[in-house]
Amino acid sequence: MAIHELSALLWRERELLDLLTFKLEEEQLLLTAGKSRWLPHGTREVEQVLERVSQAGLTRAVEIAAVAEQWGLSADCSLAELAAGAPDPAWADVLESHLTAMRQQTATIKELRDANEQFLRAAVRSTQETLADLKPAAGTYDSHGRTGDSSPAHLVDRKL
């Protein structure tokens, strides 16, 4: 029966959302610890989980359409509409609990994403400030081999 398959898919999707939460927290730990060396690996893992979540969402939509047709609902209904139109109150409760859990997981993921974005912006700002502080020390060489602003470069030798 399609509803059993849908319920199993929803459990797998919730597990993927948990994994995504873990990967985002892992990425946040890397950011707060200043371990930028591992950040590309963490970001790649987040992207891989996001791809799996996207595929699971497509599969869920197909299963929702199949269940909706069996229950006499519109094939393009949402999970909330499916739960509201469930002929059996037990299945309505199961679908509602999945929906509630997935909404909570999504809110947590959004918070982590926003926090990580703030950490990344702060890191970029810090890097830019550090580079700006280094610029004066990286001046041109004068005729005596010294660097810095004390001896600006000239096109013409003034001793002539």
Domain ranges of the chain: 2-133
pLDDT at 123: 80
Is 32 within 8 Å of 116 (Cβ atoms)? no
What tokens appear for 124 in the block? 């970029």
DSSP H or E stretch at residue 84: helix 79-84
d(CA 36, CA 106): 26
- With a cut of 60, say whether residue 138 has pLDDT above it: no
DSSP H or E stretch at residue 63: helix 39-70
Task: Give residue 155's pLDDT band: very low, low, confident or very high (50, 70, 90).
Answer: low
- With a cut of 90, say whether residue 151 has pLDDT above it: no
**Strand ranges (DSSP E) for 72-132?**
none
Region 84-113: mean pLDDT is 97
d(CA 119, CA 25): 12
d(CA 110, CA 28): 13
3-state secondary structure of 140: coil
- With a cut of 70, say whether residue 139 has pLDDT above it: no
- With a cut of 90, say whether residue 92 has pLDDT above it: yes
- With a cut of 60, say whether residue 153 has pLDDT above it: no
Higher pLDDT, 136 or 140: 140
Region 108-128: mean pLDDT is 90
Burial class (CB in 10 A: 0-12, 13-18, 19+), 45: middle
Q: pTM for this one?
A: 0.77
